[in-house]
Structure 1
Amino acid sequence: MSLDEVHVKSKKNAAVGAVETSDFPFLNSTNMTNFAYGFAANVVAVLLYGSNFVPVKRIETGDGMFFQWVNCAAILAVSKVGDLMLQSPKFHPFAMLSGVIWATGNIAVVPIVKAIGLGLGILIWGSSSLLMGWASSRFGWFGITAQDVSRPILNYCGAGLCLLSGLIFFFVKTDVETHPSSESTPLLIDRRVNSGVYGPTSSEFWIDLIGSKTRRLIGCLLAVVSGLLYGSSFAPILYIKSHSSCHDSVFHGASLYDLDYVYAQSSGIFLTSTVYFIIYCAAMNNRPRVYSRAILPGLLSGLMWTIATYCWFLANNYLSAVVTFPILTAGYGLVAALWGSLVFKEIRGLTNCFIFTVASCVVLTGSMLTAFSKF
């Protein structure tokens, strides 16, 4: 073989190697490192979001207004610590709108849980949140830049499976009431157990005055609305980032690092919850239902939510929201369902367990497809 033939063969081999590498970009070490960091951060966020309400599973929260205010106060305090650790990046008041939207959706959480249970409630609002958040990121709604993925088919299939899992979970029947003779405990204790001990009697709660079918319907509708608000709550932050490169925009030069906006979002959350609580106190003639036992669990719940948000924003930095959002919303619903089924025995019966297992497999498959669609 001549020297020229050797050079030609080497060039051909190099070209073949280049084609193989381009066909499998996820084999790149940088991509794999980013994927590992992003996926790990997303897993932590899923676990904390899914366990967010576990601290209050045995605590009476009443109509939820006082609990939300305490919860949001903890969110602001923890985010301030994070802001100082990040050396106080520029504060964008427009990012507070993200907190306003989130707090508006969160105000219905306690009525939802009391109407249909934590597991079903999170799974329903997680599904609607998934649809809104994924679609807005993928197609560029609300003036944000549409995010592309390397394998769109995998992304669509993954998001579709995550949504399908939420619909399957809807058919899982859960026991959200506590009976004196029962050994199981729901994620939020039934009001009738503690009536008259730490707050108003159960007859004073509007959710208890309606029939079971109507209560379930209202709970499901509230969960869908809350999910849509959750899914769109991060649009203002994405809007700021999308316009940071526009020279004629007021957000020109804004940070592209998601964690820089957590404090602004948390400020909006606390401000909005405070306004709602003031309106609530006025509507109750300055006799709000305050439950002292809900303070420490509420603070712990806020701590978990804020850490989960930092982890999720960190995951967005490595994988982008179009990948992390379907994994997150489907994942934390699964975690909440696991708490209810394995720990608190809310899911009983062979049929329910079978449906739950099938839905779990679907959500795990959809999450993995969505994650790998980036590479």
Structure 2
Amino acid sequence: MALSGLLPALLSAVAFGLQYVPVKKYKIYDGTTFQWFMCSGILFVGVSVALLHGDLQYSVPPSVVMGGGIWALSNFAVLPLVKLLGIGLGFSLYHFQNMIVGYLVGRNGLFGLPRLQPAFAGSLYVCDLGCLLVLVSFVGLLLVEGRGSDSEKEKEPGPAPSVHGKGQLDQIEEQHEEEVALDRNLRLLESSGFSAFAVEVEDDEQAPHSPDAAPPEAETERRKTWRKVALGVLLAMVAGSLTGVQSVPATLYGLEHPEYPTTAVFFPQCLGAWFASTGIYLLYGGIARLRRKPVLHAVIRPAMLSGFLWAVGFIFMIQGIHELGFAVGYTLDAVGPIIIASIMSMCWFKEISGRRQLMIYWSAEALQLLGVILITAFSKQ
């Protein structure tokens, strides 16, 4: 496997794995304004790179712009998904779908992409085994219980939120105490480079009932639970699938125009992400206005810095896919950030401790590494 392809894939994994570290200790509230600030940072880097490389002379293909919009939509869909299923199960299902869709698209040459070529007869079955090992490793990571960082967050609280049309936090607390109390439970989890949001919501339904209170109807509760699970699984499948195909238009455009540099698709992708996130924010803000709800704003500079890192990761990802092919390149860039972020979670933030937890964690990481080696070593580019 050419170093020219592996090196960009590695750099992309590092950038995607680090992208949410700048906002780890800050509240993102409902995530809507956070994503808009983040995508503004993405667009800033996109315009800067286009000006430096002279990429504005090339056309802005609508398909690539749509690819950026698909990423923004899938990224935003993770918020309700994790609310419904929780961080562990929600992100695992999301990554399952993202990983398998990206691999199958390149493996079978869907949407007009070149098919993954075997290094020798039957070697693609070994690649399939590698993909299966990576998926099994996600199950292992689901069993790892991080101890969190609530005490750290309390010591270093984020700045008070600003609200569109209001300048004083006390006005929010007086008029919207319930919303502020709920938003206090929201935080970001830097578990991968392909997802933006995670949520910690206290489950009021699990609070003990007073003896005088009537017990809830078991059947009704079961139906509500199954509806939540079904909706969460559906969102995981949709969000993971969208993420798995969001870079297909950019890859196809690069194949159709080999005379263009790989950065030619970068600005259109960034523009699409910003355009979609702006539409989401305007729609959300309009609905909130009609319902007389506050639009809480997240921190600006850390969110934009996260966008900078995502943009850098996407540049290297496109270069890696160009050199290695979609199946291998995307798989490396889907699994690599999870490894990077998990290592940071354990070594830097100390969120994984205990012999049993560490054994499960390192076993899962070993499966991921073995799976990636099998995919890259037994395919031909």
**Residues 355 and 218 of structure 1: is their aligned pair in 2 closer, same or farther, counting only changes over 3 Å?**
farther
Q: 1:195-234 to 2 correspondence within 5 Å?
A: 200-203=179-182, 207-208=201-202, 211=205, 222-234=235-247
In structure 1, what is the Cα distance between the partners aligned to 2:130 and 2:84? Answer: 30
Work out the CA distance in 1 between the residues paired with 2:230 and 2:354: 23
Residue 295 of structure 2: which of 289, 304, 308 is its match? 289
In the TM superposition, what whole-angstrom CA distance separates every residue of 1:246-291 from its partner, at most 9, and x where no partner exists? xxxxxxx575654321111111111111111000001111754333
Tell me the equivalent position of 1:168.
140
Give the equivalent residue in structure 1 for 2:276.
272
Aligned AA for 2:281? F
- Following superposition, the deviation at residue 348 of structure 1 comes to 3.2
Match of 1:24 in 2: none
Pairing of 1:93-132 with structure 2 (within 5 A): 93-110=62-79, 124-132=93-101
| RMSD over aligned Cα atoms | 3.6
Letter of the structure 2 residue corresponding to residue 341 of structure 1 = M
Q: How does 1:213-362 map to 2 (within 5 A)?
A: 222-241=235-254, 244=256, 253=257, 257-285=261-289, 288-291=294-297, 294-362=299-367
- Tell me the CA shift for residue 75 of structure 1: 0.5
Task: Give the Cα separation in 1 of the matches to 2:356 and 2:116.
Answer: 40
Q: Take 2:10 and 2:87, find their aligned partners in 1: how far apart are those partners?
A: 20
Deviations for 1:2-33, whole angstroms, at most 9, x for unmatched residues? xxxxxxxxxxxxxxxxxxxxxxxxxxxxx6xx
Residue of structure 1 equivalent to 2:107: 138
Tell me the alpha carbon deviations over residues 272-326 of structure 1, each in whole angstroms, 9 at most, x when there is no partner: 111110000011117543335x101101000000001101111122211211222
Say if 2:59 is the partner of 1:90.
Answer: yes
Q: In 1, distance between residues paired with 2:74 and 2:317?
A: 19
Shift of 1:165: 1.3
The offset of 1:154, in angstroms, is 3.5
Q: Which ranges of structure 2 fall in alignment gaps of 5 or more residues?
A: 161-168, 187-198, 207-223
Shift of 1:153: 3.4
Aligned to 1:14: none
More off after superposition, 266-275 vs 89-98: 89-98
How far residue 223 of structure 1 moved from its aligned partner, in angstroms, is 4.4
- For these two proteins, the number of residue pairs brought into alignment is 325
Is this contact kept in 1: 2:75–2:239, CA < 8 A? yes
Greater Cα offset, 232-241 or 128-137: 232-241
| 1:128–1:228 Cα contact (<8 Å) kept | yes
SS in 2 for 1:201: helix
The change in CA–CA distance for 1:202 and 1:373 in structure 2 (over 3 A counts) is farther
The CA deviation string for residues 209-235 of structure 1, in whole angstroms up to 9 with x for no partner, is: 665796898767644532221101122
Query: Aligned with 1:284: secondary structure?
Result: helix
8 Å CA contact 1:319–1:374 kept in 2: the answer is: no
CA contact (8 A) 1:184 1:345 kept: no
Distance 2:113 2:340 in 1: 30
Q: Which of the pair has more CA radius of gyration?
A: 1
Residue 379 of structure 2 is aligned to residue 374 of structure 1: yes
User: What are the Cα deviations for residues 85-117 of structure 1, in whole angstroms up to 9, with x where unaligned?
Assistant: 332133212211101211111113455667778
In structure 1, the gaps of 5 or more residues are 1-30, 245-252
Q: 1:309 to 1:363 in 2, by over 3 A?
A: same
Q: Does 1:65 align with 2:32?
A: yes
Report deviation, 1:237.
2.6
> Deviation digits for residues 110-161 of structure 1, max 9, x if unmatched?
5566777878765543332111111011112234342324242332222222
Which structure has more RCO (C-alpha within 8 Å, separation ≥ 6)?
2
Secondary structure, counterpart of 1:348 in structure 2? coil
Q: SS in structure 2 opposite 1:105? A: helix
- Contact 1:98-1:235 at 8 Å conserved across structures: yes
Shift of residue 80, structure 1, vs aligned partner: 1.2
